[in-house]
Amino acid sequence: MRQFPLVVAAALLCGCPEPLFPSDAERVQILGLLGLKTPPRDETNKYGDDPAAATLGKALFEEPGLSRCGTLACVTCHAPPVFADRQKLSQGCGGLTTRNTPSVLNQAFRRWYYWDGRKDSVWSHAVLPITRDIEMNQDVPGLRAFLATARGTPLAAQYKAVFGVEPAAEKDDQRLLTNLTKALAAYMRTLVATQSQFDADLPRFLAAVDRNEEPSDPLYLPLKVFVRTGRCIACHKGPMFADDLFHNLGLDDQGTHDPGHIDGIPLVRDDPFNGAGAYSDNPTVGKNKLNSLSVDEATDRGAFRTASLRNIALTAPYMHTGHLKSLDEVIDFYDRGGDAAGTFQGTRTSTIIPLHLKAEEKAALKQLLEMLTDTRLK
């Protein structure tokens, strides 16, 4: 039996040899990084796994007619192959967004959406970019006008095939809007990129552990830094390399004074398009999910959603501010224990402390992050 990580610090203090890596507990954590397969079913969207809805959703995703300015589509800011625009902030019909635009790859595995968690499903998440003034700046009359021009086209036929009526026959404005976003969600649920070199190589490392030969494996140092020395796995855990929670990292907010999750909680609770609302296909499930939320000023102010590390090497710049330009800058940020007090809202979480990583440890950590890219995206 291998020793547990709690004894590592004590071993270093007393000058004793460092316990073997991985310990039994660390091996369990590492095993937890495997197993990403298909997204869980979204009970609030009965069209979520309908191939016809996904076909319609793809057409809508690429359609600039959804925007008031007529030049902006979902794909503009979420461009293949990584489904992001790789800009610090994104240009919408009404100006620049206030936060960095994340990739929508693998987002069907998440529980909360937007950096502050103001949305609780992929379909509800899609409502805001369409209607928000600085993004697509569209309203339902504008959507109706666009859909009217689509009569007799494949788009109109696809809509009727999925929802049973022509768009013009849908009298409820919000139902029309959510039908469109549920189709968009069905398409986005197909955007899965989880076949990385790390996933292919990890079983080899675990087999080496079983033979007590792990120090000679190429994954040994990268995993040791990720799990033990850098403690990245404290938040970037599980197959998505994200705990789907919200943390205050002590990141310089670039003068935005962004309150983060403490504003997102009331927004998702009061959202007419949340999973407990009238447009949900299973309000009971949605209500139970929302009931899991609680507000804590000490931890929620200045906290933002943990980003998945899958495909992270292709989605620079980083953080909700978009001001860290490279993985090296991100690693340096964590290594110094965050930014100076007063440059961000709220209180930095206690787990963010200086790491004092060596140059070879930083290089090994970057190597692991680059291995998380789906091999089909290269």
Residues 207, 213, 219, 222, CA torsion sign: positive
Predicted pLDDT of residue 17: 75
Distance separating alpha carbons of residues 199 and 67, to the nearest angstrom: 39
CB-based contact 357:225 (threshold 8 Å): yes
Two tokens, residue 285: 């499930």
Q: Is the bond into 22 cis (omega within 30 degrees of 0)?
A: yes
- The ranges of the chain with pLDDT < 70 are 1-16
Nearest one of 128, 116, 42, 129 to 85, comparing CA atoms: 129
Is it true that 21-37+194-257+301-377 and 51-188 share their CATH fold? Answer: yes
CB-based contact 194:371 (threshold 8 Å): no
Alpha helices in 153-309 (DSSP H): 154-163, 173-188, 197-210, 220-224, 261-270, 283-291, 297-300
Superfamily of segment(s) 21-37+194-257+301-377: Cytochrome c-like domain (1.10.760.10)
Q: Can you say how many angstroms the Cα of residue 235 is from the centroid of all Cα atoms in its chain?
A: 13
Predicted pLDDT of residue 4: 47
CB-based contact 209:1 (threshold 8 Å): no
pLDDT digits (tens, 9 = 90+) for 110-130: 999 999 999 999 999 999 999
CB-based contact 11:18 (threshold 8 Å): yes
Burial 324-356 (b: 16+ CB within 10 A, else e): beebeebbebbbbebbeeeebbbebbeebeebe
The architecture CATH gives domain 51-188: Orthogonal Bundle (1.10)
Residue 374 in 3-state DSSP?
strand
Predicted pLDDT of residue 1: 54
For the chain, the structural domain boundaries read: 21-37+194-257+301-377, 51-188, 263-291
